[in-house]
Amino acid sequence: MFQNKVVVITGSTQGIGLKTAEILGKRGAKLVINSRSIDKVENAVFFLKQFTEEVIGIPGDVSESSFCEELREKTVQKFGKIDILINNAGVASSGMISEMHSRAFEKIVSINFLGSVHPTLAFLPEIKKQKGGIIFISSIAGILGLPGYSAYSATKRAIVGFAESLKIELTGTDVFVGINYPGFTENDVQKTILNAKGEEEILKKREGIKATSQEKTALGIIKQIEKRRFRAYSSISGKFIQLLVRFFPRLTFFILAKLRKRMESMQ
């Protein structure tokens, strides 16, 4: 299904995005790799060339609308079309609301929310021509607001609202819209997180959490595209939490209130 499909994955120089690119490259997709760091983009393209020659890297910040237009132009120049956009770029953030600075909220809204909106606006006309698809990478934190992760939860939930509106507006166009809710997934050692002041710092190893492999999360995203499913939860915990929230909302809040001390100490 992915043979000769042009797939743009934002934030794809490490982690889930890079693993998704690797699997799609092996399946014949033409890949566009992106992140802010030129070095990381070059390294990722070099790595992916083991699997496919049809890969380019375009460094830049997807929270800037002008860059997203450049990303579209360069992709079309190279491959002539765009089939699938995976809005994967994102950053985690942590901190109790009472300790957080406004700057941290501004930064995370700009990366996690606008960083999915701008590529969508820029790519939509091309994707409509191909009857392709747009996938949004949310999180379990986008199902309900987690203690200690307010900014992250809010932006991952905002993506869901945007994707729902988009899906309804695109009724009858044959464009596929999907929201993927990964659970805790193994991190690369260089993964960063925004602290309460809005500064990026290396994420400490998360203790006491069973993480899904990057391959399993990436395969979940790819299967969702193949099946054109609107919502997909790539972990058992994601499926469980969304059922709990839907059918037992008060119980969910009670459990989270009990677990909050433990969750705060996970940061």
63 binds ligand NAP (CB under 6 A): yes
10 binds ligand NAP (CB under 6 A): yes
Q: HSE of 197 in the Cβ direction (CA atoms, 13 Å)?
A: 3
Binding residue for ligand NAP, selected from 23, 27, 28, 36, defined by CB under 6 A: 36
Q: Which secondary-structure segment (H or E) carries 215?
A: helix 214-227
Segment near ligand NAP (CB under 6 A); pick from 21-29, 34-42, 47-55, 98-106: 34-42
137 binds ligand NAP (CB under 6 A): yes
Burial class of residue 23 in the structure, from the number of CB atoms within 10 Å of its CB (0-12 exposed, 13-18 middle, 19+ buried):
middle
Q: HSE of 195 in the Cβ direction (CA atoms, 13 Å)?
A: 7
Contact letters (x/-) for ligand NAP, 165-184, by CB under 6 A?
Answer: -----------------x-x
Site for ligand NAP in 85-104 (CB under 6 A): 88-92
221 binds ligand NAP (CB under 6 A): no
Sheet holding 6-9, edge to edge: 55-57, 30-33, 6-9, 84-87, 133-137, 176-181, 231-233
Q: Which of 75, 70, 66 is nearest to 9 (CA)?
A: 75
Number of residues written out for the chain: 267
> With CB under 6 A, what is the number of residues at the site for ligand NAP?
30
DSSP 208: T
133 binds ligand NAP (CB under 6 A): no
Site for ligand NAP in 181-200 (CB under 6 A): 182, 184-185, 187-188, 191
Active site members: 152
Q: Which residues bind ligand NAP (CB under 6 A)?
A: 10-11, 13-17, 34-37, 40, 61-63, 88-92, 111, 115, 137, 139, 182, 184-185, 187-188, 191
